[in-house]
Structure 1
Amino acid sequence: MGSEQIRRWESGALAHAVTDPFGQGPVPWLRGNVTYFDDTGQVVPWYVDGQAHPAATGAPAVPAPRTSGPRSADDVRRQIKGFTSTGAVAPGEAVDFHITVDPPQEFAVDIYRIGHYGGDGAAKITTSPRLSGIVQPAPLTADRTVSCHHWWLSWRLQVPSFWSIGAYVAVLTTVDGYRSHVPFTVRDKHPADLLLLLPDVTWQAYNLYPEDGRTGASLYHAWDEEGRLLGEADAATTISFDRPYAGAGLPLHVGHAYDFIRWAERYGYDIAYADASDLHGGHVDPSRYRGLVFPGHDEYWSAGMRRTVEVARENGTSLVFLSANSMYWQVELAPSPSGVPDRLLTCRKRRGPGRSVLWREIDRPEQEVIGIQYAGQVPEPHPLIVRNAGHWLWEATGAQDGDEIEGLVAGEADRYFPRTPLPDHEERVLLAHSPYTDREGVRRHQETSLYRAPSGALVFASGTFAWSPALDRPGHVDPRVQRATANLLDRICKRD
């Protein structure tokens, strides 16, 4: 039983996260609790006890219960796990939480809003009353699709009309000290300079809940009957939004968005908030904003998402892609079994009927929107090499042609593909050209792109995972990237 349980804890999602050396991003309640690198430089998930001796098999040791401070809940014992069934909400609306607690006991929910807050990274907005926790039914599974839509409602949070819009995290804590997280978004329809789009569609694509070695599945992984992790050929083709996020309950790569939010709110940018699923569902009117900002890994796009963004660009709304590998897979969203719209996400990849769903394989390459497109993974961080330093984006950064910004090409990289069509443009410039070596030892390169559409819209693509962390993540901040990003946003927002 012991070794089987250890196998179940070998996280496919976290294994995939190794390609992103900037996983979660610091938030106040996680500092010191999440470790990706041990003393030897090996990547270890949050649940491995560095003080324990690994088993003879070399498998990580399951940590002994800590005697002080909160402990992260997991998907094997499900001490406390939850999700919201409501998607983004407006002030005055309600957020419905569905939570399982094992063993049954009281718990409380602290609500944090992500922001600068004097460097804290978040502020506690409210705390729930003590709530009675129950063990919810086991997740339902059908052909690798895992759903908890049948869980009872545990708590309804009525969002006061005076709350600020933004990215929120509910922190769930049991009486005996186990903790998990549930992210959610509060949005409204008021105009703003910038609309930040949280990539919840991509977050779910990577979500392996439950990470239990048996039933969990994402668009990347599932398990066989022996508890061994399987790859994409055996992964789910349809996944549900109605389930918790795996592990500690925060999505993979969520830190990229939080890094941008902390930095942008520190400097007073006028920002509205929405989810990618809002973009799909027609809840976003791009004409209300000067620019749309995609702050994190945003790989999975529906036809509706892409169409809305293309129309926005044609009507003069700028686009800012601060990560890499955006708009790569085409997906479909469908109603849940109970009829709630857009709660099931399907991406066929290489399985099942229907056409191939890479955008570039249906003659709609992402470069036609973004200006560059996905080139591959970057196994070790490399420097970003500045190009065209006389351009206004690099103004007052001190950057010169050929300068190296250490570690800025990381995780995954985009570049310009010469044989792939470019978008219509009035002007276009590549602002970085950065060699790196892939896993096979092949020499490749990353590029950073900016073009002006005929409408006047600017479209920027960083071409790397590490751009947002360079804005406001301790240990990764680079003033040149901060200033370049400010130059871009100030021009989009028409700041003097």
Structure 2
Amino acid sequence: MTSEHIRRWESGALAHAVTDPFGLGPVPWLRGSETYFDDTGHVVPWYVDPIQPAPATTRYGRPGARVPAPRSAGPGPRSADDVGRQIKGFASTGAVAPGEAIDFHITVDPPQEFSVDIYRIGHYAGHGAAKITTSPRLSGIVQSAPLAADRTVSCHHWWLSWRLQVPAEWRVGAYVAVLTTADGYRSHVPFTVRDDEPADLLLLLPDITWQAYNLYPEDGRTGASLYHAWDEDGSLLGEADAATTVSFDRPYAGAGLPLHVGHAYDFIRWAERYGYDLAYADARDLHAGRIDPTRYRGLVFPGHDEYWSVPMRRAVEEARDRGTSLVFLSANTMYWQVELSPSASGVPDRLLTCRKRKGPGRPVLWREIDRPEQQVIGIQYAGRVPEPHPLIVRNADHWLWDATGAREGDEIAGLVAGEADRYFPRTALPEHEERVLLAHSPYIDGEGVRRHQETSLYRAPSGAWVFASGTFAWSPALDRPGHVDARVQRATANLLDRICKRD
């Protein structure tokens, strides 16, 4: 790899890491076999995100990020990247029903055989996932380079590599296709299996937000997300020069898992361990009306879910007003308004557009069009939290804190992290029968200003509960190594139990 490619790869890693301190989270099928030495000689355990940067400088003297070398020391696979494109792929759809087919489009360089292992995320006696099936050995080819037009990158022209017919008996859930070349490089493609069977809770995976952050390809030349793009020198540009439209017809950057996917996987492992009755769907299913959210006792939004379309918000508001509870386990939810449109070949919902004040049309922050997210969630985005701070318990006599051991003013270390929400007094609240703030937590923002985070719960006139954690760190506290907190686990169980019992 040339030094120029190294510099670009460093920039890409920096772009990947600035928004979420929890990264991808544990990749469960690596458990037990992936302790390895990074390029400084330190031992790195299996659950460390290899994309997390450390301070460094580029060869031009500018601040950059250092990325561990591919995992070549010792036996085991190595992570593919967007410079070498050793193996990369994407799926034809985000969610598929049992009995339907899902197509995978995969590039392999150099051309060689590869296989696809399908895993389902869950508790599985602590393993975090289970292998469900394996493809036959497949012939890999080098697909054409990604196409780019006005910073919209697409691989819609890639040939079909493998079609998976999902058996009718497969369980609904979050799945990952693990792509592995004969010479030991690995990449990933997430997808969802959903059906129309009844369940207590519907888990909605935020694939729209995942795609908004996707910088594929992180090659220093072509890749673009709604946040970043590259200039002619391979330096990373900010939002003013980023894409306004991104395509789902492309792999995810780096190892192929979305930036924020760990939040959802943390909740899934915990919820399935304790036997909650879950259905699964993607944000695009909610947008397209492929699911009826009013059929469930509660909707769970497990991770960073920042980008919402008009149909998504309308469906959720209707569900709440008809008695379906809402559980928002992260922060910065429903911040940007987006549009979904078909691909050039007419496949629905393959292009995601968010103008971010660029070009004609109205601004697309929900709060700027007189529809602040607080009117649904009860609180709304306040800003980033550069360093983790404790969550300060408030109203400890409330039933949500029952049996947690939490007392008024107790600190839950590190639970305010990443980004934070709070109550905005000058912004209208949703209609409610009762309302309580369950945490009030000071922190210092990136400019050194003292701010605060809040956790909110209200009951709508329909009887629906609406909970918002107000922090990125809530889901990781359920089942993330090094972050688990029994008080958060119990509080979440108190909430879901009450929702499932319609109390």
Smaller-chain TM-score bracket: over 0.9
Closer/same/farther in 2, CA of residues 54 and 361 from structure 1, 3 Å limit: closer
Closer/same/farther in 2, CA of residues 14 and 113 from structure 1, 3 Å limit: farther
The alpha-carbon deviation at position 288 of structure 1 amounts to 1.4
Name the aligned partner's letter for residue 96 of structure 1.
Answer: D
Match 2:169 to one of 152, 162, 167: 162
In structure 2, distance between residues paired with 1:398 and 1:172: 45
- Secondary structure of 1:311's counterpart equals helix
Match 1:63 to one of 69, 87, 103: 69
In structure 1, distance between residues paired with 2:220 and 2:252: 15
- Secondary structure of 1:278's counterpart equals helix
Please say if residues 35 and 45 of structure 1, whose CA atoms lie closer than 8 Å, have aligned partners that are also in contact.
Answer: no
Name the aligned partner's letter for residue 20 of structure 2.
Answer: D
Please say if residues 214 and 224 of structure 2, whose CA atoms lie closer than 8 Å, have aligned partners that are also in contact.
Answer: yes
Matched, 1:436 2:440: no
In structure 1, distance between residues paired with 2:336 and 2:53: 36
Match 1:467 to one of 454, 458, 474: 474
Closer/same/farther in 2, CA of residues 49 and 10 from structure 1, 3 Å limit: closer
In structure 1, distance between residues paired with 2:356 and 2:67: 35
What are the superposed Cα offsets for residues 222-242 of structure 1, whole Å, 9 maximum, x if unpaired?
000000000000000000000
In structure 1, distance between residues paired with 2:36 and 2:145: 27
Give the aligned partner of residue 18 of structure 2: 18
The unaligned stretches of length 5 or more in structure 2 are none
Match 1:268 to one of 262, 266, 275: 275
What are the superposed Cα offsets for residues 236-262 of structure 1, whole Å, 9 maximum, x if unpaired?
000000000000000001000000000
Give the aligned partner of residue 283 of structure 1: 290
- Secondary structure of 2:211's counterpart equals helix
Closer/same/farther in 2, CA of residues 36 and 209 from structure 1, 3 Å limit: farther
In structure 2, distance between residues paired with 1:47 and 1:493: 38
Match 1:403 to one of 404, 410, 420: 410
Please say if residues 13 and 207 of structure 1, whose CA atoms lie closer than 8 Å, have aligned partners that are also in contact.
Answer: no
Give the aligned partner of residue 50 of structure 2: 46
Give the aligned partner of residue 27 of structure 1: 27
Matched, 1:246 2:253: yes
In structure 2, distance between residues paired with 1:135 and 1:316: 51
Runs of 4+, deviation exceeding 6 Å:
33-39, 47-50, 52-56
Please say if residues 167 and 183 of structure 1, whose CA atoms lie closer than 8 Å, have aligned partners that are also in contact.
Answer: yes
Which structure 2 residues correspond to residues 145-156 of structure 1 after superposition, within 5 A? 145-156=152-163
In structure 1, distance between residues paired with 2:78 and 2:309: 37
In structure 2, distance between residues paired with 1:47 and 1:23: 8
- Secondary structure of 1:304's counterpart equals helix
In structure 1, distance between residues paired with 2:365 and 2:499: 30
Closer/same/farther in 2, CA of residues 350 and 54 from structure 1, 3 Å limit: closer
Closer/same/farther in 2, CA of residues 293 and 116 from structure 1, 3 Å limit: same
The alpha-carbon deviation at position 63 of structure 1 amounts to 2.8
Matched, 1:427 2:434: yes
Closer/same/farther in 2, CA of residues 54 and 144 from structure 1, 3 Å limit: closer
Match 1:134 to one of 127, 131, 141: 141
In structure 1, distance between residues paired with 2:15 and 2:276: 35
Give the aligned partner of residue 117 of structure 2: 110
Matched, 1:8 2:8: yes
Please say if residues 29 and 128 of structure 2, whose CA atoms lie closer than 8 Å, have aligned partners that are also in contact.
Answer: no
- Secondary structure of 1:191's counterpart equals coil
Q: Percent of pairs identical after alignment?
A: 83
The unaligned stretches of length 5 or more in structure 1 are none
In structure 2, distance between residues paired with 1:45 and 1:106: 27
The alpha-carbon deviation at position 67 of structure 1 amounts to 5.0
Name the aligned partner's letter for residue 390 of structure 1.
Answer: D
Please say if residues 267 and 479 of structure 2, whose CA atoms lie closer than 8 Å, have aligned partners that are also in contact.
Answer: yes
Is the deviation greater in 444-453 or in 344-353?
Answer: 344-353
Give the aligned partner of residue 75 of structure 1: 82
Please say if residues 53 and 61 of structure 1, whose CA atoms lie closer than 8 Å, have aligned partners that are also in contact.
Answer: no
Give the aligned partner of residue 234 of structure 1: 241
The alpha-carbon deviation at position 21 of structure 1 amounts to 1.7
Aligned-residue CA RMSD in angstroms? 2.4
In structure 2, distance between residues paired with 1:325 and 1:36: 33
Give the aligned partner of residue 328 of structure 1: 335
In structure 1, distance between residues paired with 2:377 and 2:164: 38
Give the aligned partner of residue 302 of structure 1: 309
The alpha-carbon deviation at position 191 of structure 1 amounts to 1.2
Closer/same/farther in 2, CA of residues 34 and 142 from structure 1, 3 Å limit: farther
The alpha-carbon deviation at position 25 of structure 1 amounts to 1.4
Name the aligned partner's letter for residue 397 of structure 1.
Answer: T
Give the aligned partner of residue 263 of structure 2: 256
Closer/same/farther in 2, CA of residues 401 and 75 from structure 1, 3 Å limit: same
The alpha-carbon deviation at position 33 of structure 1 amounts to 6.9
Give the aligned partner of residue 379 of structure 2: 372
What are the superposed Cα offsets for residues 16-50 of structure 1, whole Å, 9 maximum, x if unpaired?
533422111112234547999997x9xx9726999
Please say if residues 13 and 206 of structure 1, whose CA atoms lie closer than 8 Å, have aligned partners that are also in contact.
Answer: no
In structure 1, distance between residues paired with 2:207 and 2:53: 30
Please say if residues 168 and 186 of structure 1, whose CA atoms lie closer than 8 Å, have aligned partners that are also in contact.
Answer: yes
In structure 2, distance between residues paired with 1:331 and 1:49: 30
Give the aligned partner of residue 200 of structure 1: 207
Matched, 1:346 2:346: no
Matched, 1:481 2:485: no
TM-score by length of 1: 0.95
In structure 1, distance between residues paired with 2:264 and 2:474: 11
Name the aligned partner's letter for residue 69 of structure 1.
Answer: G
- Secondary structure of 1:192's counterpart equals coil
- Secondary structure of 1:264's counterpart equals helix
In structure 1, distance between residues paired with 2:234 and 2:6: 10
Closer/same/farther in 2, CA of residues 99 and 286 from structure 1, 3 Å limit: same
In structure 2, distance between residues paired with 1:61 and 1:198: 28
In structure 2, distance between residues paired with 1:144 and 1:187: 32
In structure 2, distance between residues paired with 1:170 and 1:373: 35
Match 1:88 to one of 80, 91, 95: 95
Name the aligned partner's letter for residue 25 of structure 1.
Answer: G
In structure 2, distance between residues paired with 1:386 and 1:336: 47
Name the aligned partner's letter for residue 395 of structure 2.
Answer: N
The alpha-carbon deviation at position 116 of structure 1 amounts to 0.1
Closer/same/farther in 2, CA of residues 292 and 37 from structure 1, 3 Å limit: farther
Give the aligned partner of residue 97 of structure 1: 104
Match 2:321 to one of 310, 314, 335: 314
Residue-pair matches, total: 493
